[in-house]
Structure 1
Amino acid sequence: MKTEVAEDPQQVSTIHLQLGLPLVFIISQQATYEADRRTAEWVAWRLLGKAGVLLLSRDSVDMDIPQHANVAFRRAEKEVPVEFLVLNDVDLIVSYVENNMYIEEIQEDEDGVQKGPDLAIQDDEVAETVYRDRKRPLPLELTVELTQETFNSTVTTSDSLVLFYATWHAVSMAFLQSYIDVAIKLKGTSTILLTRINCADWSDVCSKQNVTAFPAVKLYKEGESPVSYEGMLGTKDLLKFVQLNRISCPVNIASIQEAEKYLCGELYKDLLSFTSVSVLGLFSPAMTSAKEHFREVGKQLRGSVITGVYSEDDVWILSNKYAAPLPAMLLARPREGRIESVPLATAPVQEMVQILANAPLEAFPEITVENLPAYLRLQRPLLILFSDGSINPQYRNTTLALVRQKQLDSFTPCWLNLKNTPVGRGILKAYFGHLPPLPQLLLVNLHSGGQVYAFPSAQSITEQNLILWLKKLEAGLENPITILSDQEWKPPLPAFDFLSMMDAPTSQAPTKKVEECMKEAEGQETAEQPQGGKSATRRLPTEMLRIKHWNRSNWPKEAAEEPSQLHREL
């Protein structure tokens, strides 16, 4: 962000004005430049979060600046002219800005009328939330406020969840409400201490903890590296993160009986409401390298998925039962009564991370604004049913049957309830030009060409009809109802690019492939058989459960070669 300007203050545009904050210009000239720059820095620190501070060069501005003026003050409102002032020290400048802001707040309270932005047309929902709830009292006493003196002693003596925030930051203040909601839900039950530190007051502490963006949440446990929360900024996902971190992952499973309880969900019944899948790594005692790689992946994904390790001499019993050649991992979905196996002998570490990260995703989810990014990251066309309410159980059963048969591996089958997610109406109007009859089954190819296809409304959605329709699409025998534009919709300023801020960076894992795993697997093929009998282990295709990609050459010729941009209306 620029800190020095050489133009008419009335024409300067910064993010502060767009956030409704005033601008303070320290008027400088060549002879006193260094002193003026230091003054601007002091004022900026004192007014952090309250106003923007810029250095204005008197010598370079093509306008008349009063000779004795050393400060210019510009309010956020466009119609108000710039004020030129004579304020001879930092305290006077800070007092002037704070007193003007205070008068505006008092005036609003006395009138009893909200003179802020029109909440009905607010473009920034975060700012709207903060503005609407600015006078809502929060029970901050449910969390411990940390300072530079108490931070280290707290996080080293107890399992602590720390919220790093800034009181001048709108997203921080909106998320603080969710953080307090989590504290309310966990009151008297959690072994994890919920704390917070205001980085506007204790910036040194936040810098030492590598906090470079707000808000940030980190979990500190004795003897372990801090774990950063990378989920959605809401109560539900944060509560899940806290609850799943009550146990140390990966969990060491001690016996076959305990492993079976783990897989069916009995071992951690109280956590079933927070996760739909449990992952169990199977390794022979000699597979130390593969086991360590799996442990490292499990640590990276703590708080998002439960992982466990079984590595006893009788591991072959589970290997044979679930047709999982060692090393392998089992993905257990207790609610659905399904256990899937994934071979790890040829899987690079990064692929293992991706499989585990995608493991909590449902086979046939209801798409919402919150979970859509997770499913879009699969980079597969959406096979999406738009419904005005709950979907027909027959269609759900049809879809799940095709999923079990692996007929839909190239797609992301899902549905959208217009009553829960009203934006779906606007999406349908954009596709059809009007709101079509519901339910409506579409295939939306967001990542390669942007085509949108509609299932024939005259046909019933059966397994046979759905498979035949998808084969016609693959052969290029159907025409799309529309092709999404590849126009890129960028935010007006980088600071408004909230979607990129929400996208958690891909976990950094070792890049080398687990060659040791392959060698160990080959060496164990015969050694792990039960005594006195033929091997009951059945080899499965190594590509099992790998994500297949739609063959782009099968799309119609008019499809664009480059991937289309994410359809922003979704």
Structure 2
Amino acid sequence: MRKPLSTLSLHTFLQLMEAPLVSEVYEDPSSVQPPLFPYQQTPQVFLFAHPATEHLDRETATTLAWRLRGLALLLLVHRQSPAVKTPDEYNAAYRLPGKGLDVKYLTLHDLDEVLELFTDQEREEEEEEEEAEEREEEEDLDFGELDDEIAASVYEKRGNLPDVDSITHLTSENFHSVIAQSSLTVALFYLKWDAVSMAFLSSFIEVTERLAESMVQMSAVDCGEWTDLCAAQTGSSLPIPFQPITTFPTVLLLRPQEPAQHYRGMLGTEALHCFILLSSRASPVLLSTQKEVKSFLQEAPYPELTGFTPNRALGLFRTPTDAGVSLFTEAAKSLRGEVLTGLLTDELADKWAAEHAVKLPAVFVFPSWRTHTRPPTLSIPSSPEELLSHIKSALLHPLPELTVENLPSFLSLGKALLLLFVGEEEDEIGLRQNQALVEEMRGVVELGGGRMERYLACWIHLGRTPTGLSVLGSYLGSMPPLPALVLTHLPSRDEIYQYPMKFPIAAPSVLKWLQRVEDGKESPAGMLGDDSWPPPYDFFDFLKIMDMQEPDSAQQLTPADEDYVDGDDEVIAQGDVAEDEAPDSSSSRFPENNTNIHSEL
């Protein structure tokens, strides 16, 4: 046994010791299915038996099987079967785990060649692991033992600070006059000593350069210098349109005579640029011709967003003075940057209503993920908040694919996650298998009906979102074979449940398993841990040292739990701080329902 000495390796080895020494098959190796649980991560070795030498071939297979005990499964293929199509020039074959049905054929002259095949492979894997560990150690040395990649990046670029001359600097004195100059001002509130702020500042300036020809005014506030403005206390008779800023960096969209709008998306160039462009359009857009309606529904709102499909909502009313128009307009303002909204009235609205067999007033919702199907239709409720909630519900995908970008918005729903992890496809067969799994999950939602309202059925493609690998490993303590289905983020408890690997993922079976979890008949496979990030050493706990040196001063507060998700230079980091209140130590590894991005206060 050449695996590292660990509980998992020992358990796997003992399971292999219980497997049949030699299995005999009468079909071609390419038709033999990969091993089932619990041997799915085990290589398969095929030897061929001829009718004339069957007894000797079986003895040879048995001898090799003893030498491969704990390393691989050995199968003896009988060539007299018409199903065996392997040419006679080959006398052995093997299949590696995770390679689907791919089989490699060999012509061996010595049994030791098979052993060398697996030992060389393990040696290569060990060398790759050692190289990876060395790279990690080198990265750790770049910035001491804090292991803070963001701070390290800022530290390394400290001599190349971004040029901030392209943005307007807001102060307590010029705030109101600057905001009044433009219909839309985007303001970044930052701290120079905050690593995330400085990392995001470069992206903010890049967006500023992209919007140089637009009417959008890009600005920034150094909250280390203008503390009164960031605290929303300028001393001016004019009100400040936002609450005190306590998380950094924070981006606000400011319009004259309107409350500030928070940007709650990814801290990256593309996400911020897209949000600002969508926010700069009128909400709702008044559409007066059929051509304008077609353009609104089918064309990109800006050339820069070609290829991007936004969510859309279209309100239909008999007249511009209809009571529902004001409700729709208020909801549209709250959706700026996230949903394009349009307004139809008079004859055009009547025509649309007749074509789609709906009664006015009504709202059509066009989710970005829905294609060539009838859009959901909503009636007008009694309040903008209720209409806003209905629109967001209609935009929600029934089986969303989770990504780094959309995870916070789905977690904010407060539902338990029924989460399917699928691996990257290596061939057409793997692609069809993943598609079939997603269809089964869709069947769970449809078959479960109202019972599934408390759950958010979703999936993660680990090829497109490799961060999910560490998430899955942290859920269960080790990496299970894929696909893996887990139930997590239950509203009232921290347990994590894993769907039994011995059962296929099928809609009826999953629903029965969920019922067993609800009845308390299933044991949890893991727990959501406390993701606090304490200082690695006592002498790094600077706030504690300050409290000890100045006992009469106000108690220093440490940032609440933070989450960092790396991907394409985009960072999500979260923390909350409440004045005179200690941070909650029971937060989960994902952001909670609050929408703060990062805190250094």
Alignment partners' CA distance in 1, 2:289 and 2:201: 43
Partner residue, 1:172: 197
Comparing 263-272 and 241-250, the one that deviates more: 263-272
Partner residue, 1:395: 437
For structure 1, the residue ranges without an aligned partner over 5 or more in a row are 1-113, 505-563
Alignment partners' CA distance in 1, 2:194 and 2:300: 43
**Deviation by residue 1:296-340 (Cα, 9 ceiling, x = unmatched):** 121123222222222324424433444544333211135531453
Matched position secondary structure for 1:496: coil
For the structure 1 residues 497 and 432, does the alpha-carbon distance in structure 2 shift closer, same or farther, using more than 3 Å as the test?
closer
Q: CA deviation at 1:126?
A: 4.7
Amino acid in the other structure paired with 1:166: L
Partner residue, 1:135: 159
Q: CA deviation at 1:287?
A: 6.7
Matched position secondary structure for 1:319: helix
Equivalent residues of 2:400, 2:458 under 8 A apart: yes
Q: From 258, 268, 272, give the equivalent of 1:238.
A: 272
Partner residue, 2:180: 156
For the structure 1 residues 128 and 420, does the alpha-carbon distance in structure 2 shift closer, same or farther, using more than 3 Å as the test?
farther
Alignment partners' CA distance in 1, 2:349 and 2:445: 29
Partner residue, 1:38: none
Partner residue, 2:524: 482
Amino acid in the other structure paired with 2:264: E
Alignment partners' CA distance in 2, 1:151 and 1:247: 23
Amino acid in the other structure paired with 1:380: K
Q: CA deviation at 1:292?
A: 0.7
Matched position secondary structure for 2:330: helix
Amino acid in the other structure paired with 1:167: K
Matched position secondary structure for 1:374: helix
For structure 2, the residue ranges without an aligned partner over 5 or more in a row are 1-137, 235-239, 426-430, 535-555, 564-572, 577-584, 592-601
Partner residue, 1:466: 507
**Deviation by residue 1:40-89 (Cα, 9 ceiling, x = unmatched):** xxxxxxxxxxxxxxxxxxxxxxxxxxxxxxxxxxxxxxxxxxxxxxxxxx
Alignment partners' CA distance in 2, 1:258 and 1:404: 36
Aligned residues: CA RMSD: 4.1
Equivalent residues of 2:364, 2:376 under 8 A apart: yes
Equivalent residues of 1:324, 1:341 under 8 A apart: no
Partner residue, 2:331: 297
For the structure 1 residues 426 and 199, does the alpha-carbon distance in structure 2 shift closer, same or farther, using more than 3 Å as the test?
closer
Matched position secondary structure for 2:270: helix
Amino acid in the other structure paired with 1:329: V
Alignment partners' CA distance in 2, 1:400 and 1:268: 34
Alignment partners' CA distance in 2, 1:406 and 1:395: 16
Partner residue, 2:341: 307
**Deviation by residue 1:163-194 (Cα, 9 ceiling, x = unmatched):** 2323234443232122123234x154533132
**Deviation by residue 1:484-522 (Cα, 9 ceiling, x = unmatched):** 547766676754126599589xxxxxxxxxxxxxxxxxx
- Determine what percentage of the aligned residue pairs are the same residue: 30
Alignment partners' CA distance in 2, 1:334 and 1:569: 25
Equivalent residues of 1:232, 1:502 under 8 A apart: no
Correspondences of 1:271-286 after superposition (within 5 Å): 271=305, 273=307, 276-285=310-319
Amino acid in the other structure paired with 1:164: F
Matched position secondary structure for 2:346: coil
User: Are 1:496 and 2:559 matched, yes or no?
Assistant: yes
For the structure 1 residues 198 and 433, does the alpha-carbon distance in structure 2 shift closer, same or farther, using more than 3 Å as the test?
closer
Equivalent residues of 1:277, 1:359 under 8 A apart: no
Alignment partners' CA distance in 2, 1:480 and 1:316: 55
Partner residue, 2:225: 201
Equivalent residues of 1:486, 1:565 under 8 A apart: no
Alignment partners' CA distance in 2, 1:179 and 1:271: 18
For the structure 1 residues 243 and 120, does the alpha-carbon distance in structure 2 shift closer, same or farther, using more than 3 Å as the test?
farther
Alignment partners' CA distance in 2, 1:167 and 1:271: 32
For the structure 1 residues 404 and 474, does the alpha-carbon distance in structure 2 shift closer, same or farther, using more than 3 Å as the test?
closer
Equivalent residues of 1:280, 1:310 under 8 A apart: yes
Taking structure 2 as the reference length, the TM-score comes to: 0.55
Equivalent residues of 2:415, 2:455 under 8 A apart: yes
Matched position secondary structure for 2:478: coil
For the structure 1 residues 363 and 356, does the alpha-carbon distance in structure 2 shift closer, same or farther, using more than 3 Å as the test?
same
Correspondences of 1:68-83 after superposition (within 5 Å): none
Comparing 372-381 and 286-295, the one that deviates more: 286-295
Equivalent residues of 2:424, 2:462 under 8 A apart: yes
Alignment partners' CA distance in 2, 1:264 and 1:399: 30
Q: CA deviation at 1:375?
A: 0.8
Q: From 234, 237, 245, give the equivalent of 1:212.
A: 245
Q: CA deviation at 1:416?
A: 2.2
Amino acid in the other structure paired with 1:378: L
Equivalent residues of 1:442, 1:452 under 8 A apart: yes
Equivalent residues of 1:143, 1:183 under 8 A apart: yes
Partner residue, 1:434: 478
For the structure 1 residues 498 and 360, does the alpha-carbon distance in structure 2 shift closer, same or farther, using more than 3 Å as the test?
farther
User: Are 1:262 and 2:293 matched, yes or no?
Assistant: no
Amino acid in the other structure paired with 2:589: R
Equivalent residues of 2:421, 2:461 under 8 A apart: yes
Equivalent residues of 2:560, 2:575 under 8 A apart: no
For the structure 1 residues 452 and 497, does the alpha-carbon distance in structure 2 shift closer, same or farther, using more than 3 Å as the test?
closer
Partner residue, 1:27: none
Equivalent residues of 2:499, 2:513 under 8 A apart: no
For the structure 1 residues 177 and 495, does the alpha-carbon distance in structure 2 shift closer, same or farther, using more than 3 Å as the test?
farther
Alignment partners' CA distance in 2, 1:568 and 1:371: 16
Q: CA deviation at 1:146?
A: 4.3
Matched position secondary structure for 1:350: helix
**Deviation by residue 1:409-446 (Cα, 9 ceiling, x = unmatched):** 55323222445555534443454443211121233352
